[in-house]
Structure 1
Amino acid sequence: MGDRFVISCAPRDVRVVRVMRREVFVAWPWGTPDPTSRYRWDGDVSVPIDTAHPDWSQTPWRLEPRTGLSAGDRVQLSIPPTEVVVQEVLTFDEPRDIGRINRPTGAVRFDVGFFLWIDHDEPIEFSPPWNT
């Protein structure tokens, strides 16, 4: 806990599934719905597009463009370089059922409120913090 990193993820082309006033649902390119899960994840993930949305500061994921979108549009999903601080490291006795395959064996919670599941396919890169 307390370790600092810069996380990022290169832009990935994704399809817009649904547009709401302050968020956009995209077809998540990493992960497969778990048919044996008690949850029914449909493969879509909500990404806030409004900086006033409560989740804006709790997720590093961003879409470009953020405006003028309709279902079926293609957008770029990425994590711009973001400095984070590890707040908590969790390990699970049994892999956690979150509706997706692979079921994670742990998670890391960062100061921005973002959880990163361990054992998942998102290609998030870690690098040393800017002020080292």
Structure 2
Amino acid sequence: MESVRLTGALGYSVGDLLLISSEATDVRVVGTTPQRVLIAWPWREVDPDSTNSWDGTVGFSRDPDAYDWCNTPWRLEPDPSELDRGASCFVGIPPTEVRVVGIEKFDPPADFGFLPRPDYVLEVCPVDMLDDEEAGYTLYLNGEEPIEIEVIESAKKLK
């Protein structure tokens, strides 16, 4: 798998200010540890031809103050500290302003263990965390997650 760093693709540019969100979706808790809650991720499927293993779950910190929350836009309701295996909860993205800090194209699409295999990704960071080099997350542009992405301010128009 080869990736290429781009400054623009599919209508997005590095430097764009975006508003992202996703309606809350009902999901099931399939496992817990003292530190994490694992939910069955409804928008991806395991890639049977992958050389990587993915079990169909995504983990979230139980601690609302954990640094891990800087690396995902997704939020759970009720609070993850209250969730046990078998429980239902909601996962969604509250309206969040992010800045595009990178764009990557995978050719062929990336093998991360799930389908659809990502081809273009936006690397974004919440605007209130731009000074933190470790904060931010990746949005898969051909993914099935129902993420609404609105360009609030185009980097192209600022030039």
TM-score (normalizing by structure 2) = 0.77
SS at match of 1:2: coil
TM superposition score normalised by structure 1:
0.91
Correspondence for 1:2 = 15
Q: Please give the alpha-carbon distance, in whole angstroms, between the structure 2 residues aligned to 1:122 and 1:61.
A: 11
- Is the Cα contact below 8 Å between 1:25 and 1:44 reproduced in 2? yes
Superposed CA RMSD: 1.5
**Per-residue CA distance 1:27-59 (angstroms, 9 max, x = gap):** 000011000101111100012332332211111
Q: Partners in 1 of 2:50 and 2:86 — Cα distance?
A: 28
Counterpart among 51, 56, 70 of residue 38 in structure 1 = 51
Instruction: Give the whole-Å Cα distance in 1 for the aligned partners of 2:66 and 2:46.
Output: 27
Any unmatched runs of 5+ in structure 1? none
Moved over 6 A (4+): none
Matched, 1:113 2:136: yes
Aligned to 1:14: 27
SS class of match (1:88): strand
CA distance in 2, matches of 1:93, 1:16: 34
Q: Which has the larger radius of gyration?
A: 2
Whether 1:80 aligns to 2:80 is no
The unaligned stretches of length 5 or more in structure 2 are: 1-13, 126-134, 154-159
- State, as a whole percentage, how many aligned pairs show the same letter: 41
